Chains A and B, each alone.
Chain A
Amino acid sequence: MNTVARDDYLERLIESWKKEISPARSIPYLDQLRANALGRVELLRLPTIRDEEWRFTDISSLRNTPFPRASAVASTDLDDQRVDAFLDETACKLVFIDGQYMPGLSNLATDDDSITVCSLSELTTGARAHIAEQYLGQLASFQENVFVALNTALMHEGVCIVVSADAAVKVPLHILYISSSKDVAAYPRCLLIAEMGARVTLVEEYVALHEGVSLTNAVMEVYVMDSASVNHVRVQHESQQAFHIANSFAQVAKAAHYDSLNLALGARISRFDERITLAGENAECEVDGLALIADRQLADTHTFIDHALPYGKSRQLHKCIVDGNAHGVFSGKIMVRPHAQLTDARQLNRSLLLSDKARMDTKPQLEIFADDVKCAHGATVGQLDKESLFYLQSRGLAEVAARNLLTYAFGGEIIDRVVVPSLKRRLEEYILARTRIG
């Protein structure tokens, strides 16, 4: 990689960051990690469509947007009520505006002392310092991934959440990332650790208050310890002109369960890379996704489910509804390592094309190195079923109404899996409104 010429886009970014990166911080581990990542950024380049993993997603237009990271805390007239509208029931609410943590809008007050929430910059002493060294950046490898490297080089306001052993957190935790103005880049970072036997639901949500171009480059690391259970709902609803690039990593230990549900609704170009490692026996994951895109949107989802040990189980259903000139991409790999005997893996990608110009590229992949496993995968790309349309029309529904109902139903299968009632209702209403237009 040393032979790669420095990327002028990255060079400009680094130049503009130099002064805020260089001051020494009081956390040696974090400083070292960021310095290493920055060193790596200097050797990497932005991917192009000549890179296999990016062949359908052309992000060259990102070069025109060398946004500074928002440095000052954004002033905003956003009030509590408006923030509350995003989620009714929550144990703990963390609000970020343009990447900056907003203590005034957040609510950490929780009776539940089983949840510890702190900023990454607070991981300084005692047990907390140990958390940083043991977990932060361990899953999110930046060696070959320029976006993870960029995020790591810039992390400072990231959030760390630890749910203590055997705690069952009944109401969800909510992290709300708000993009308040155009021409701003945000680099959200989150570390979630569910200790042994803990149960927790996390909603990670990205919304915009503007219609302009902005950039989010997010990294999430999730540790699901032995017998723990994490339900992670991710809603990406950025501006229709935004770039949203996210890398999510989860490690699922023995007999633990990880539910991941990813909704891609906004952004001009969104790319979600998810890597889940079933790192203990009997580990399980359910990985669901829905991309609902129109106009000139592009939504790219890359997942990698790694069965490393025996008796693992994975279930994946990823759906795309593509209208207008939009372009959906799905690449899902399931890896079954030699030791992962008796793995049970199933993956399905179903896509619905609503217009002649809508496009879908799908690439489901299985790589199996164990000999006693049960694996299945498949992909379908189609239009609305003509017999179903006729059936609804024969009951008096106009063709448009029939199409909308079937489209809604197609997405509804994923929305039904959202476990937070207020979020589910909000998503149902959103999809109804979206399908009514189409």
Chain B
Amino acid sequence: MIDANSKTLLEVHDLHATVGGIEILKGVNLTVRTGEIHAIMGLNGSGKSTFSKVLAGHPSYEITRGTVLFDGQDISALAPEERAQAGVFLAFQYPVEIPGVANNQFLRLAYNTVQGKRGKEELDPLEFDDFVREKMKLLKMSPDFLDRSVNEGFSGGEKKRNEILQMALLEPRLALLDETDSGLDIDALRIVANGVNQLANKDNALILVTHYQRLLDYIVPDYVHVMEAGRIIRTSGKELAQELETHGYDWIHASDRVAGAQS
């Protein structure tokens, strides 16, 4: 929701980033205020997933130019865990499987670490068990998931639900959802989207990175940005997603040419 009383949460200015010496982001500008939901759309290779990883602090990417201000602080030199503790959360496109670590052990460790850093109360195993089971209801997850190894043998939908469960536990102020809709059937998509919607509020913000408009039927964005070749080339309201779905990404260029001819 766009709110007059909101404050600026994320301010990205002229962001350039490379991986292995190859420049992927070539000057991204984006401002996100509390309470807002942004969608970043684009074709494969446009740089949208890279953008979310750079914001979360993935060590393979190097910021070569520009600034990332989160809540007024430059976070570009912070380690991933420091960003997480500050309130940045990335829901992975491909959540990592960690055999040998029970999901409940991992979730409690993450929760208590972040709580501790934020000066809040940590939970013992029994308290946490009650707490996490309550949160799991939001995503219609069976308690069985607690005893299994982190993401190991989870279906695509189960992995994505586990991501949103982590979001529910860690209560980020800025959540980056990277292709959260990929690999989901329609029922799982509804459950995940419903969970995300319940977690969105006036004090946090969401960035949905997606290829398709489908997710945006369930999580309605305030802004839709189109990314191409490492830049945001178009920003508009939610209707932009619908137009992309109908006409395809080429339509942007066609409409740009028309716009260019008119100006």
Contact = CB atoms under 8 A, between A and B. Distances in A.
A397 B113 contact: yes
B100 A395 contact: no
A32 B135 CA distance: 72
B113 A387 contact: no
Nearest to A414: B100
Interface string B72-92: 000000011101110001101
Contact of B81 (A386, A399, A409, A410): A399
Contacts of A412: 100-101
B96 A396 contact: no
Interface stretch (A84-92, A197-205, A269-277, A400-408): A400-408
Interface stretch (B5-13, B52-60, B194-202, B229-237): B52-60
B114 A396 contact: yes
B95 interface: yes
A416 B89 CA distance: 32
A392 B113 CA distance: 11
B170 A395 contact: yes
A396 B100 contact: no
A209 interface: no
Which of B79, B90, B100, B109 has most A Cβ within 10 Å? Answer: B100
Interface in A390-430: 390-399, 401-402, 405-406, 408-413, 416
A388 B114 CA distance: 18
B19 interface: no
B81 A393 contact: yes
Nearest to B91: A394
Contacts of A394: 56-57, 80-81, 83-84, 89-90, 92
A397 B81 contact: yes
Nearest to B176: A394
Contacts of B117: 396
Nearest to A411: B100
A386 B56 CA distance: 14
B166 interface: yes
A386 B100 CA distance: 17
A413 to B, nearest CB: 5
Nearest to A385: B96
Nearest to A407: B100
B37 to A, nearest CB: 21
Given A387-B96, A391-B96, A413-B99, A396 B110 contact: yes
Contacts, number: 78
Contact of B60 (A386, A391, A409): A386
Interface in B168-192: 170
B90 to A, nearest CB: 5
B98 interface: yes
Nearest to B97: A388
B108 to A, nearest CB: 11
B98 A406 contact: yes
A411 B114 CA distance: 26
B165 to A, nearest CB: 11
**Chain B contact patch, size range:** 20 to 34
A399 to B, nearest CB: 7
Nearest to A388: B96
A392 B95 CA distance: 10
Contacts of A391: 92, 95-96, 98
B92 to A, nearest CB: 7
Interface string B41-78: 00000000000000011111000000000000000000
B101 A390 contact: no
Given A386-B59, A390-B59, A401-B113, A395 B98 contact: no
Contacts of B57: 393-394
Contacts of B89: 394
A395 B114 CA distance: 8
A361 B64 CA distance: 40
A398 B101 CA distance: 16
B170 to A, nearest CB: 7
A405 B100 CA distance: 9
A395 B166 contact: yes
B62 to A, nearest CB: 14
A298 B37 CA distance: 56
A405 B110 contact: no
B102 to A, nearest CB: 9
Nearest to A389: B59
Contact of B80 (A393, A408, A413, A416): A393
A162 to B, nearest CB: 37
A409 B100 contact: yes
A261 to B, nearest CB: 16
Interface string A121-148: 0000000000000000000000000000
Nearest to A398: B81
Nearest to B95: A391
A434 to B, nearest CB: 15
A406 B97 CA distance: 11
A398 B117 CA distance: 11
Contacts of A393: 57, 79-81, 84
Contacts of A399: 79, 81
Nearest to B59: A390
Nearest to A409: B100
A233 B149 CA distance: 24
B93 to A, nearest CB: 11
28 contacts: A386-B59, A386-B60, A388-B98, A390-B59, A391-B92, A391-B95, A391-B96, A392-B98, A393-B84, A394-B80, A394-B81, A394-B90, A395-B81, A395-B113, A396-B85, A396-B113, A396-B117, A396-B170, A397-B81, A398-B79, A398-B81, A401-B109, A401-B113, A402-B81, A406-B98, A409-B99, A412-B100, A416-B100
Given A396-B114, A396-B117, A396-B170, 17 more contacts: A386-B60, A388-B96, A390-B59, A390-B80, A391-B92, A391-B95, A393-B80, A394-B57, A394-B83, A395-B81, A396-B113, A397-B81, A399-B79, A401-B109, A409-B100, A409-B149, A411-B100
